[in-house]
């Protein structure tokens, strides 16, 4: 079955590749118009007008080239990151406009974009567009072998198709007509056969100019680390506040009450032993509740099963307490580092909470595995779907949490379901660590 699916996918790729290439070529025309507008705006910088015109044109060009990056990534497998350096915060007034314009122009990616929009209409003709041209030329050959050849020659016209001259007497020559049609079929087949390969060449060309330079990559990396460090600090501060609040409102309040009860019992032992025994029973009950709250608090900080048994068993334990009783599949030959384990555990916990609260699902599946240096966790539910990262479901917080470890979150949730949340965290695995205590 997998072989049949692979053949189907390959056939689909050959059929679609020429028309995908044609769409990429058509995209070069609005890009050229933007480049002409940019050159005009640059020529007016000395007059001051260009300072106001250059930034919006460059931003529009970047938006259009993001479409290129998206299409190239989806159709050729060449994933292209946005290469743009982080700019300064916009300041009102003329000084702010000047700073913004200079920041955009000093970004090497802006000039690489300009180089792309000038060169791409030519490069795309010989790569992305060529298969579609061959297919259309082949269709023209089939038409010439049929009624179009008769139509042209009946009006005294003539045309060359490859080496075949379509001229007077062509309609009566059946052999030549068949040869024209066969040549057309050959061009159509050639277009579809070469489509994926030429599209792949075009993808490499796109990655060369539209991808980040080493300087951009380093700057983006620094920006990402700064943001994730800030998120980690904010998350840690919020967690400490939560622990402090839980201790103050829960276990600490019970312990204070127990101390007061014990003081009252001390005074009642001789005068009213019966009431003292009643207070002792209440104090024992309070101590049990305080212990239960402390255990819940510790479990919320770092579950003992996670430390003792690892991520797989901790998620299985989580699933046992979940109302939907998720099915858990684990393929982890070792253990990630403790911080990664903790982040992954709490991310799965939050996703399961979302599924119980918002999805309306009957079943949930969790798949955990480690492959190519990446911890991949997929949580799927059969609920109503329609989930979004910005929908107030906490998924954005999960994304920030795992972003501290260069992790990424992907969400697929069409209306009607299913909802699939995929987490990927780069990490190495150590040997399994199991406590026998």
369 φ, ψ to 5°?
A: -155, 165
User: Is the pTM value of this prediction over 0.85?
Assistant: no
What is the DSSP annotation of 225-261?
A: HHHHHHHHHHHHHHHHHHHHHHIIIIIHHHHHHHHHH
pLDDT at residue number 22: 92
Torsion of CA 40, 43, 46, 50, to 10 degrees: 30
Whole-number Å distance between alpha carbons of 407 and 222? 16
Tens-digit pLDDT profile for residues 374-388:
889 999 988 888 877
What is the mean pLDDT of the segment spanning 410-433? 81
Whole-number Å distance between alpha carbons of 164 and 187? 14
Q: Where are the beta strands (DSSP E) in 287-373?
A: 327-331, 364-371
User: Which residues are within 8 A (CB) of 326 and not within 5 positions of it... i.e. 6 or more apart?
Assistant: 319, 352, 363, 364, 365, 366, 379
User: Which residues are within 8 A (CB) of 412 and not within 5 positions of it... i.e. 6 or more apart?
Assistant: 419, 420, 422
CB-CB contact of 286 with 254 (8 Å): yes
pLDDT at residue number 190: 92
Whole-number Å distance between alpha carbons of 285 and 19? 74
Count CA atoms closer than 13 A to 306's CA, side-chain side. Answer: 22
Tens-digit pLDDT profile for residues 409-419:
888 888 887 88
User: Which residues are within 8 A (CB) of 84 and not within 5 positions of it... i.e. 6 or more apart?
Assistant: 62, 107, 109, 110, 216
Whole-number Å distance between alpha carbons of 375 and 343? 12
Whole-number Å distance between alpha carbons of 313 and 306? 7
Tens-digit pLDDT profile for residues 263-320:
777 777 777 777 777 877 777 777 777 676 666 655 555 677 777 888 888 888 888 8
Tens-digit pLDDT profile for residues 52-74:
888 899 999 999 999 999 999 88
Q: What is the DSSP-derived secondary structure letter of residue 393?
A: S
Whole-number Å distance between alpha carbons of 78 and 156? 50
Q: Which residue has the tokens 């300009």?
A: 114
What is the mean pLDDT of the segment spanning 218-223? 66
Tens-digit pLDDT profile for residues 185-199:
999 999 999 989 999
Tens-digit pLDDT profile for residues 3-52:
543 444 565 577 888 999 999 999 999 998 998 998 898 888 888 888 88
Residue 80 has pLDDT above 70, yes or no: yes
Q: Which residue has the tokens 């920041």?
A: 103
Tens-digit pLDDT profile for residues 312-345:
888 888 888 888 888 889 888 888 888 888 888 8
């Amino acid at each position: 079955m997998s072989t049949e699916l692979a053949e189907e996918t390959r056939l689909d790729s050959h059929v679609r590749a020429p028309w995908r290439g044609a769409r990429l070529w058509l995209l070069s025309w609005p890009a050229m118009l933007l480049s002409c507008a940019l050159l005009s705006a640059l020529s007016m910088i000395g007059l001051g007008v260009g300072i106001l015109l250059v930034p919006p044109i460059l931003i529009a060009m970047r938006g259009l080239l993001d479409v290129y990056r998206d299409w190239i990534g989806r159709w050729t497998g060449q994933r292209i990151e946005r290469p743009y350096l982080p700019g300064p915060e916009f300041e009102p007034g003329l000084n702010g406009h000047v700073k913004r314009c200079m920041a955009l122009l000093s970004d090497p990616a802006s000039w690489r974009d300009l180089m792309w929009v000038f060169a791409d209409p030519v490069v795309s003709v010989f790569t992305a567009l060529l298969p579609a041209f061959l297919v259309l030329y082949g269709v023209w050959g089939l038409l010439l072998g049929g009624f179009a050849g008769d139509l042209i020659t009946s009006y005294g016209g003539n045309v060359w198709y490859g080496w075949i001259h379509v001229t007077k007497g062509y309609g009566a020559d059946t052999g030549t007509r068949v040869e024209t049609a066969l040549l057309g079929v050959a061009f159509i087949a050639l277009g579809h056969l070469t489509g994926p390969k030429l599209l792949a060449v075009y993808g490499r060309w796109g990655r060369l100019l539209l991808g980040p330079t080493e300087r951009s990559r380093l700057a983006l990396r620094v920006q990402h680390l700064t943001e994730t460090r800030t998120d980690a600090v904010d998350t840690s501060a919020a967690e400490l506040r939560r622990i402090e609040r839980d201790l103050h409102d829960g276990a600490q309040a019970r312990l204070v009450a127990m101390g007061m009860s014990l003081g009252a019992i001390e005074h009642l032992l001789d005068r009213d032993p019966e009431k003292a025994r009643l207070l002792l029973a209440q104090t024992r009950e309070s101590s049990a509740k305080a212990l239960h709250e402390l255990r819940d608090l510790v479990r919320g900080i770092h579950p003992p099963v996670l430390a003792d048994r690892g991520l797989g068993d901790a998620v299985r334990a989580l699933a046992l307490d979940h109302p939907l009783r998720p099915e858990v599949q684990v393929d982890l030959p070792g253990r990630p580092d403790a911080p990664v384990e903790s982040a992954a555990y709490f991310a799965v916990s939050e996703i399961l909470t979302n599924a119980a609260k918002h999805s309306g699902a009957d079943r949930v599946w969790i798949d955990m595995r480690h492959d190519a240096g990446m911890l991949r966790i997929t949580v799927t539910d059969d609920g109503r779907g329609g989930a979004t990262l910005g929908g107030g479901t906490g998924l954005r917080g999960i994304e920030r949490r795992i972003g501290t470890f260069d992790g990424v979150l992907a969400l697929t949730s069409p209306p009607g379901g299913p909802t699939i949340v995929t987490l990927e965290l780069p990490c190495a695995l150590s040997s399994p660590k199991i406590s026998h205590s």
